[in-house]
Amino acid sequence: MKPTTVDQYIASLPAEHAAILNDLRTIVKKAAPKATETYKWAQPVYESDGPMIWIKAFTKYVNIGFWRGTEMQDKYNLLEGDGDRMRHVKLHTVKDIKKSAITDYVKQAVKLNAANGDPTKRMKAKA
């Protein structure tokens, strides 16, 4: 059975991946308490003024990703990716989680969406 909730998604994962996801979930909820948590696009998604963060388990690692990753300050040098907007942090074990860095990225994501709106909507050209 395919998961339809974040809890079901976590329960479907291997133990190490579930532990990573649970820790990330706690960090996101603490850093962005007003964000909504949903299960869409086959992964947990956190929204505040539109989607801002996703968490996705792969075979050998878990990613926490940021829709506006290219706009974020990356003083920790953890963000990966080469797309025009999104960036992610790849985590192989719970020990890889840099709590202060992830907290900072989450808070930046909230501020960027608050300032710029839903990143999935086309931005109107400035006059």
DSSP 35-74: -EEEEETTEEEEESSSEEEEEEE-SS-EEEEETTGGGS--
**What is this structure's pTM?**
0.93
pLDDT band at 122 (very low <50, low <70, confident <90, very high): low
pLDDT reported for residue 20: 98
Complete domains list, the chain, with CATH = 6-112 (3.90.1150.200)
- Residues 38, 53 contacting (CB under 8 angstroms): no
Which letter does DSSP use for residue 4 in this model?
Answer: -
